[in-house]
Amino acid sequence: MEMSTLDTPPANPESAADRSSDHRTTRTIRWALEHPWRVVGAWLVLTIASIVVIATLLPGALSTEQRVTNGPESRTALELIDTHLPDRGQVDEVLVVSSSRYEVSAPEFQDFLARLVEQAPDLDVEVAPVAGNAAGSAGSASDLPVSDDGRAILVPLHFTTDDRVDADERLVDAVDAADSNPDFTVTVTGQSTVEHDLNAMSERDLQHGELYVGLPVAMLVLLLVFGTLIGALMPLMIAIVAIIGALALAALVGQQWEVSVFLVNMVSGMGLALGIDYSLFVVSRWREERAAGSTRDAALRTTGATASRAVLFSGITFVVALTGMLLVPTSIMRSLAAGAILVGITSVAAALTLLPATLSLLGDRIDSLRVPLVGRRSEAAGYDDDAVAHGVWGRLVRVVMRRPIVWGGAVTVLLLVAAVPMLGMETGASGVSSFPADMPSRKGAEGIATYFPDQAAQPAQVVVYDSGGIDEAALRRGVESLTARLADEDGFGTPQAEPVSADGTLAVVSIPVGSDAHSVDAVERVRDLRGGIAADTLGTELGDARLLVTGETALNIDYFDVMSAWLPRVLAFVLGLSFLVLLVVFRSLVVPIVAIVLNLLSVGAAYGLLVLVFQHGVGADLLGLQQVDTTEAWVPLFLFSVLFGLSMDYHMFLMTRIRERWLATGDTTGAVAWSVGSTGRLITGAALIIVAVFTGFAIGDLVMFQQMGFGIAVALLIDATLVRGVLLPAAMALLGEHNWYLPRWLRWLPEVQVE
């Protein structure tokens, strides 16, 4: 086997600072060290300006809509409706008014209903036409559906304003006020109310997750790692500055492109994770150099040439991993990716400029305000060879490397077993049934399910389009055929045909598919409509007419299908780019292959445990999580991208230390043992901080955040312990000097100095 020159490290290796003295990154850091007050002042001005931008621009830039942007069937159908039926009375929200005391026909019920409907103009809503009535004609009490027991009425509503967020807020408040009447129950549901509830829960989960879990645990871990209050506060400062900067950039981006409201959660969570992680490694390297006897200036230079440069390349690998999400043609994935990438960039920028400047100003004062007992233990941990060898991680790694096949094989089997449930993963959307019981949209959906089981807040809609004109007699026969066919099917309501458009080219047939448009049953029914029912009935009678199925459930299905189709593409894209980055950085063919295999093992195990807990309910009650039928459609792709990015972060930090040690000693086994032993406490601490941040999401109300938080927390625990502590040392022990193998035909690759 042919080896590269890396197989024989230089006989007289220079220091990291000397090797990197002319690197642009090093020059930037050196300038920050020489002009600390300018750097701090510039960041202060940028932060204040960012706060102003956030306050003025961000609220108006956020959207709760989850849009598929590649022209799916459901969107095409809606565009046809907008074009040919511009005055169609679209049902946006549905009120259910019920009473255990009065029947709908009672004067008291009618008076209450009339007073409620009178508020409609002030709320920017109107009673929408009932399917089958003339388009544009307002509904009246006699037109509205009444429940079989005669004690509830369903009131379809249509917004008369483009500002649906404000209108829905006022509508929900009015419904709450009406519901306070002890004789009546009033609920509302619909797409805008669902988005209202998602926004409210998102803000609540963000506040609880970060303020009450993420930040306190992060501070505790930092105190344990550093042992001093000042040292612990510095990473938090960098994280907060990075978050503010990223949110300001997101607000500016949102002026041109649609930005999801969940971007705020992403920026806050990832900002805490990355800002603290990058700062943790930089500050720890500074303290290590000082403990080794380096002067203040020498320690700053070496830190800038090693840890700070590793931060740069870690940031690059993280951004590369998240870039794949930008390819997915959905607004939420692109928003989440943009948020993560923006905060990754601001975190790196702050760690490379603001952090060195602050270190230059504080110097050894970073070790002031020691925490009793903890501070002494942290200092006693030490960085010398003896302390590393006898530390927990040092002892563990040496045990593993003595029997790499046994330990590596055992952990590999364990992770593969954990990944097995992944084979049964079903993707979808949990819907309003997973919302807390006090959420308006859930109460409204339950009201529909109780009194109008064959109705839906958002029915499926079959759009019939024929540019040559629709034969109305054939349409009636088609609807009759469809009605007869659906009578034999479970869960469908009675189809209702709306009048043909004025130009005679388009008609809409509404079909109730259940009270929860997000449910698995509703999804199956709409797939059946698309799969043949509509074509076999309407299509048979209408000949060449084009049939398109839309509605909330159809929109969800198109969204699910996009996620499923893009997952393997994003996986290939991210793996390919990550391989190239690691190949260039480490000039080794083996290092990137090992990194990819290990990361896939941890991601696979996270997928399996996610399915086991959420779909099968194993331990869900114990952990305070909801058991649901499906895994949120965007979660697998999101988890892969984020977990791969964060795992590569740790891999980059660890491998740069291993390579630095190997260049100094020429001993791969010793370099692995020393590097894992010396960084184990830091990587574990960094992982625990991210675990705490995302555990905060997992304890929230939104199932999709529960799944996201649980998946990231579990995967990072696996990665920081089993993968970095056992699998990586075992693999490198087995490969020995072959870890640095580079074929002759790849020696043209540029030499990129990370350490």
At what angle are helices 296-305 and 307-326 packed, to 10 degrees?
Answer: 30
Three-state SS string across 178-236, please?
Answer: HHCCCCCEEEEEEHHHHHHHHHHHHHHHHHHHHHHHHHHHHHHHHHHHHCEHHHHHHHH
pLDDT digits (tens, 9 = 90+) for 36-92: 899 999 999 999 999 999 999 988 887 766 667 777 888 899 889 888 887 666 778
Structural tokens at position 81: 């409706």
What pLDDT, on a 0 to 100 scale, did the predictor assign at position 688? 84
Q: Would residue 175 count as lying in a domain?
A: no
Question: Which CATH number covers residue 47?
Answer: 1.20.1640.10
Q: Would residue 55 count as lying in a domain?
A: yes
Is it the case that residue 137 has pLDDT exceeding 60?
Answer: no
Residue 310's contacts (CB-CB under 8 Å, 6 or more residues apart) are 281, 652, 653, 656, 754, 755
- The pLDDT > 70 percentage for the chain reads 89
Q: How many domains does the chain have?
A: 1
Please give the Cα distance from 36 to 358 (Å, whole number): 7
Q: Would residue 258 count as lying in a domain?
A: yes
Locus of tokens 């956030």: 54
pTM attached to this predicted model = 0.81
Q: Would residue 714 count as lying in a domain?
A: no
* H-assigned helices in 420-519: 440-451, 472-487
pLDDT digits (tens, 9 = 90+) for 616-635: 999 988 888 888 888 988 89
What pLDDT, on a 0 to 100 scale, did the predictor assign at position 419? 96
Is it the case that residue 2 has pLDDT exceeding 90?
Answer: no
Q: Domain of 56?
A: 15-63+228-369
Q: Among 346-355, 364-373, 574-583, 728-737, which is the least confidently predicted range? A: 364-373
- Split at pLDDT 50, 70, 90, the class of 424 is very high
The terminus-to-terminus CA distance of the chain in angstroms comes to: 27
Is it the case that residue 17 has pLDDT exceeding 80?
Answer: no
HSE-up of residue 85 (Cα within 13 Å, Cβ side): 23
Is it the case that residue 16 has pLDDT exceeding 50?
Answer: no
Please give the Cα distance from 62 to 50 (Å, whole number): 16
Q: Would residue 194 count as lying in a domain?
A: no
Q: Would residue 659 count as lying in a domain?
A: no
How does 158-167 read in b/e, with b if 16+ C-beta sit within 10 Å? bbeeeebbeb
pLDDT higher at 70 or 536? 536
Give the residue-averaged pLDDT of 531-543. 86
pLDDT higher at 410 or 755? 410
Give the residue-averaged pLDDT of 312-337. 86
- Split at pLDDT 50, 70, 90, the class of 380 is very low
Q: CB of 755 within 8 A of CB of 306?
A: yes
| Cα angle: 699, vertex 700, 701; to 5 degrees | 130
What pLDDT, on a 0 to 100 scale, did the predictor assign at position 617? 92
Q: CB of 244 within 8 A of CB of 264?
A: no
Q: Would residue 276 count as lying in a domain?
A: yes
Is it the case that residue 18 has pLDDT exceeding 60?
Answer: no
Is it the case that residue 139 has pLDDT exceeding 50?
Answer: no
Other C-beta atoms lying within 10 Å of the C-beta of residue 600: 18
Q: CB of 578 within 8 A of CB of 596?
A: yes
pLDDT digits (tens, 9 = 90+) for 156-190: 888 888 787 788 889 999 999 999 999 999 999 88
Please give the Cα distance from 327 to 309 (Å, whole number): 28
- Pairing type for strands 496-497 and 506-511 reads antiparallel
Q: Would residue 572 count as lying in a domain?
A: no
Strands of 544-592 (E only): list them: 546-550
Q: What is the Cα 473 distance to its own chain's centre?
A: 50
What pLDDT, on a 0 to 100 scale, did the predictor assign at position 135? 40
